[in-house]
Chains A and B, each alone.
Chain A
Amino acid sequence: MKAALAAIQLILVGAIAWGGGVSEAAAGSTQLAGEVVVYTAASLTEAFTSIGNLFMKLHPRTEITFNFAGSQKLAQQLALGAPADVFASADVKQMQAAQRSGRIADDGPRIFAHNRLVAVVNIDPTHTVSRLVDLSHSGLKIVLAADTVPVGSYTREFLAKAARDPAYGTAFRDGVVANTVSLEENVRAVLNKVALGDGDAGIVYSSDIDSVSAAKVREIDIPDALNSIADYPIAPITDSKNPKSAAAFVKLVLSPAGQKILAAYGFIPAVQKAQ
């Protein structure tokens, strides 16, 4: 599975690089060199790894190093002065936190992708969930992300909206809260625990479901009216030691090639093709 995924990634990156669309970005690549440290929200792990590979292909003298973690943790590390060149956050709040600590310019952040919440249930039907409303059935084990994690705060928003919707009501929200057995520290831990079957259900981003977990979990859609559409901002770090390469990386993420990769990993592209 993993090998297949890696192969797809390679083909994808190769095809995009080969097929042009980034030819103007490739021009002048000879000047860019050195390490670019990209602080990246955990939910972007695969998509950004792929974009990073493309970047290094276009600029062979550069080296992309990722720090994947929950956005709140990355913002905290940035506030404490951790060296970095680019920050890609899973929500605007954590980007603002990084701005407050003076590491990101006021006009730095650009929204580069959107994501939506989806409920996942273990494929093995030992539980009773077939529709979204079933998540409040008593006795279920639900794994959520902690409120400190962006996906966790979007989940709270979803529960609040559901509580106001007569089709779900406060009983639904309270049932889900009562069923919650763990508040995980990042979104991948939520998915893994549902995939392993220790949790019956969880709430993650639709982009998190890769080919590996798709075999072990089933998705249940959360309707638009209740869903919280996550905005992903990206920005270069003001005190970057490699500002040119950092700017080029941000540009690649916002470029059609970068947006195509993000879409391939289940994100909703945020930059119009017209640009």
Chain B
Amino acid sequence: MTGNKTSLHPELLRTAGQEPISPFQVRVSRRRLGRDFWYAAIVPCLAFLVVPVLALLFYENPKTILANLDGRQVAQAVTLSATTTIITTLITLLIGTPVAYVLPRIKGWGHRLIETIIDLPVVLPPAVAGIALLMAFGRRGLIGTYLHAAGIDIPFTTAAVVLAQLFVAAPYFIKTASVGFAAIDPDTKEAAALDGASRFATFLYVSLPLTRNAILSGAILTFARALGEFGATIIFAGNLPGRTQTMPLAIYIGFQINLNVALALSIMLIAVSFLVMFITRMLLNDPQRG
């Protein structure tokens, strides 16, 4: 993306050329200086994103923090977060894939409507999502009333945690996967059809493998977002250790009594999110993408 340096505005290149950005270079071509300028220009943004995370790591002696890791509440929160986010990701794959697959084929206002519906949970404050879920699935809610009559109460259960995560995080998968499905060459599917493959077989053996990367990246985004879900969870699912208190909730409550518990959980959350996303990106990268 940044490879096309010739498209830089000449004025920008000239300004960059006047400033000794790289002290190691005495005589450099303008093109080289232009590149150094862009490398230097990424520092403020990256530093801003990285510094708070590092500050969290360096605030307290790791030993003191580790001493707080054997707490039962910490273990419960970690287990609950792991289980619920995995379930959320699996459900998203199951019910989100059809949406992502069909979306590129729908044209016109219907497409825009579905896209907007999918975008909505992403832009809503999670607290709004929590209240909305309560109005829908609460015991006196739109759907909750009937569920309650059938003997099913959702709020304050682990199922509510999953629903909150699903509502907030599923759109990330659908959007990413749908871009992948849209990129499949129609000729490829046609060729499969000509070879006698059924529609479902085409989906299973042609479309799905071709969008492997998009599906996995989308699933990772959803997983990571679900892992961090807080606002909708505390409103819709409540806060009870072992049942609905996920890591973000334990961090929030912990922050009010024991900063070390909050720090320990925060660091674990960052480490898990970072590793999962980074490792997946490494695995996903085709050799030609470097």
Interchain residue pairs with CB less than 8 A apart (10) = A72-B256, A73-B256, A76-B256, A148-B256, A181-B240, A181-B243, A182-B239, A182-B244, A184-B239, A196-B138
Interface size on B, residues (CB 8 A): 21
A103 interfacial contact with B, CB 8 Å: no
A181-B256 contact given A196-B140, A198-B156, CB 8 Å threshold = no
CB-CB contacts below 8 Å: B245-288 with A: 252-253, 255-257
Beta-carbon contact of B239 and A146 below 8 Å: yes
Task: List residues 120-176 of chain A with CB under 8 A from any CB of chain B.
Answer: 124, 141, 143, 146, 148
Asked if A70 contacts B256 (CB within 8 A), the reply is yes
Cα A183 to Cα B155 in complex, Å, equals: 13
Say yes or no: is A46 at the interface (Cβ < 8 Å to chain B): no
Residues of B within 8 A of A (CB): 134, 138-140, 153, 155-156, 234-235, 237-241, 243-244, 252-253, 255-257
Is B253's CB under 8 angstroms from A146's CB? yes
**Besides A141-B153, A146-B253, A183-B239, 15 other CB < 8 A contacts?**
A72-B256, A72-B257, A148-B256, A148-B257, A181-B156, A182-B237, A182-B244, A183-B238, A184-B239, A185-B239, A189-B235, A196-B139, A197-B139, A198-B139, A198-B140
Residue on B with the closest CB to A183?
A: B239
In the complex, A180 has a CB within 8 A of chain B: yes
Contact B256–A197 (Cβ < 8 Å)? no
Interface 1/0 per residue, A59-77 and B, CB below 8 Å: 0000000000010110010
Known: A182-B244, A196-B138. A141 touches B156 (CB 8 A): yes
CB closest chain-B residue, reference A75 = B256
A148 with B153, Cβ < 8 A, contacts A182-B238, A196-B134 known: no
Q: Does A193 contact B (CB under 8 A)?
A: yes
Give A60 to B253 CA distance when docked, in angstroms: 39
Q: Please, which residue of chain A has its CB at the minimum distance from the CB of B148?
A: A126
- Expressed in whole angstroms, the Cα–Cα distance for A199 and B160 within the complex equals 14
Residues of A that sit less than 8 Å from B by CB: 70, 72-73, 76, 124, 141, 143, 146, 148, 180-185, 189, 193, 196-199
Name which residue of chain A comes closest to B243, CB basis: A181
Contacts of A197 on B, CB cut-off 8 Å?
138-140
Once the chains bind, are B253 and A182 in contact (CB under 8 Å)?
no
**In the complex, what residue of chain B is closest to A72 when comparing beta carbons?**
B256
Max chain B Cβ within 10 angstroms of own Cβ: one of A143, A183, A184: A183
Report Cα–Cα, A199/B153, bound state, in Å.
10
Contact assessment for B238 and A181 in the assembled complex, using a CB-CB cutoff below 8 Å = yes
Who on chain B is nearest to A199 by CB?
B156
Point out the residues of chain A lying under 8 angstroms from B139, CB to CB: 196-198
A-side contacts of B235, CB under 8 Å: 189
Q: Chain A residues with Cβ under 8 A from B256's Cβ? A: 70, 72-73, 76, 148
The docked-state distance in angstroms from the alpha carbon of A202 to that of B34 is 65
Contacts of B153 in A (CB 8 A): 141, 198
Q: How far is the CA of A183 from the CA of B249 in the complex (A)?
A: 11
B residues within 8 A CB of A180? Answer: 240
CB contacts (< 8 Å) of B239 on chain A: these are 146, 182-185
Closest Cβ of chain A to B239, distance in Å, is: 5
Q: Which 6 A-B pairs have the closest CB atoms?
A: A182-B238, A181-B156, A198-B155, A197-B140, A72-B256, A148-B256
CB atoms of A183 and B240 under 8 A apart = yes
Taken together as a complex, chains A and B put the C-alpha atoms of A199 and B134 apart, in Å, by 12
Q: Which partner residue on chain A sits nearest B155 by CB separation?
A: A198
Question: Which of B155, B235, B257 has the most chain A CB atoms closer than 10 A to its own CB?
Answer: B155
CB distance from B155 to the nearest CB of A (A): 4
Per the bound structure, the CA–CA distance linking A199 and B239 in Å amounts to 13
Instruction: Evaluate whether A182 and B156 lie within 8 angstroms (CB atoms) in the complex, with A146-B239, A197-B140, A198-B138 already known.
Output: yes
Which of these, A70, A185, A196, A198, contacts B234 with CB under 8 Å?
Answer: A185
CB distance A76 to B255 under 8 Å?
yes
Give A156 Cβ to nearest chain B Cβ, in Å: 14
* Closest beta carbon of chain A to B217's beta carbon, Å: 34
Q: Which residues of A contact B241 (CB under 8 A)?
A: 183
Name which residue of chain B comes closest to A196, CB basis: B138
Chain A residues, CB < 8 A from B255: 76
Across-interface contacts of A143 in B (CB, < 8 A): 156, 238
**CB-defined contacts of A196 to chain B, threshold 8 Å:** 134, 138-140
Give Cα A196 to B144, complex, Å: 12
In the complex the two chains form, is B240's CB within 8 Å of A185's CB?
Answer: no
| CB–CB B253/A185 < 8 A | yes
CB distance from A113 to the nearest CB of B (A): 23
User: How far apart are B134's CB and chain A's nearest CB, in angstroms?
Assistant: 7
Q: Check B253 against A148 for contact (C-beta < 8 Å).
A: yes
Query: Which A residues are in CB contact (< 8 Å) with B234?
Result: 185
Instruction: State in angstroms the CA–CA spacing of A134 and B139 once bound together.
Output: 21
CB distance from B160 to the nearest CB of A (A): 10
Which residues of chain A have C-beta atoms less than 8 A from B238's C-beta?
A: 143, 181-184, 193
Chain B positions within 8 Å of A181 at CB level: 155-156, 238, 240, 243
